Amino acid sequence: MELQIRRLGHGDVEDIRKLMEDVISRLPAQDLFAMDEEGYLQELIQEKGEIYGAYLDGKLAAYTVLAFPGMSEQNLGREFGVSEQELPLVGVLDSTVVHESVRGLGLQRHFHELREKRAREKGCLYLYSTVHPENHASMKNLQAAGFTLQFTRPMYGGKNRHCFAKRLL
């Protein structure tokens, strides 16, 4: 099984939405994942981040988001006590969606490595991520990538999330 991984653009947003909706429709609980709006995906591609996709036989099978929230209200750095001056140095490992057909191939670990490398290249000092407390696979992958659990609290409209952090030096 050969997967091709590439950076996604505006023309891929419809495929991203279809994959997200398809995978989320089969989750045991809808609060396990906070759906991304199309406008947010377009914003990421335009200037506030990067999205990478894994293709199997020409079809999008997984994607991952690296966000650069800058000074926006969505910057998780504020939750972690990052000073206003250092907020532009924050990167966020945002959503990763993997279709069942390609799970177990280490894609999430590969996506973590890719996003951390890109965050370093962009000059980020901090990386953050949020995970539903019952998403054990994602927590295990974050911890394996050197992230540490900092706190748990409601986010994204009241959905409980573990908040992980990693300092890049």
Mean pLDDT of 88-100: 93
pTM summary value: 0.91
Q: What confidence tens digit (pLDDT) does each residue in 15-66 have?
A: 999 999 888 887 766 665 666 788 888 988 998 999 999 999 999 999 999 9
Residue 105 contacts residue 142 (beta carbons within 8 Å): no
Distance CA 104, CA 27 (A): 17
pLDDT at 74 over 70: yes
Cα(26)–Cα(130) distance, integer angstroms: 21
Residue 71 has pLDDT above 70, yes or no: yes
Distance, CA of 128 to CA of 34 (rounded, Å): 16
Query: What's the CA gap between 95 and 36, in Å, rounded?
Result: 8
Q: Does residue 32 or residue 102 have the better pLDDT?
A: 102
Please give the structure tokens belonging to residue 127: 């990386």
